[in-house]
Amino acid sequence: ALEAIAFAVVGGSAGQERKRLEAEIQAMEAFSRELFVELHELVRARIGELQAHTWRGRVMNVLGNCCSAVCVYKIVMSTANLLLRRGGAGNEDPATRLLNIMLVHLRVPLDVSYWVPILSLLFVGYLAFANTRQFIQRLLTVFRSVSTSVTSNSLALLLSEVMAMYFAACVLLTLRVVPRRDR
């Protein structure tokens, strides 16, 4: 009888120790995954930094600055048009104006009135897609740093709603480039 009591006492504490160790192992594995993700992001950032010093990287940087300038211009003009109640699909945005000038002055044999709105829409669509992609990446970074096991589901729902609204806003702003007859 004494052996059964000793086995129950020792076995009970061994069972508790085992559960504690399993919980600690799970926590360490989660920590290891987070470290791997952080290391992967650091390696990608370093590769991007090294590529930025190449000829291609400098060209991409200039193009990125041009795209940023177009985005800032569109934000400012959209805000001004909204506040002053002016504008519409008939107005020409800077991408359309730049394409029109380039095609006319370079004497490219294209129907400018047909191709400029299409090329401008493709350019603005690409900007909206790239902008949405960057926005989602930033939101996921915030989500990883803020979420816990308790708040992860509610934060995921909130972030999916925010991303959907952001994408819808980008699509609606892109539709401003399309002439009314082509909508």
- Best CA proximity match to 89, nearest among 183, 23, 19: 183
Predicted local confidence at residue 157, as pLDDT: 78
More confident residue, 6 or 69: 69
Question: Within the chain, where are the H helices?
Answer: 2-52, 55-84, 94-105, 112-146, 152-175
Would the pLDDT of 43 be above 90? yes
Q: How far apart are CA 39 and CA 45, in angstroms?
A: 10
More confident residue, 51 or 169: 51
Sign of CA dihedral 147, 148, 150, 152: positive
Most confident of 4-13, 40-49, 110-119, 124-133: 40-49
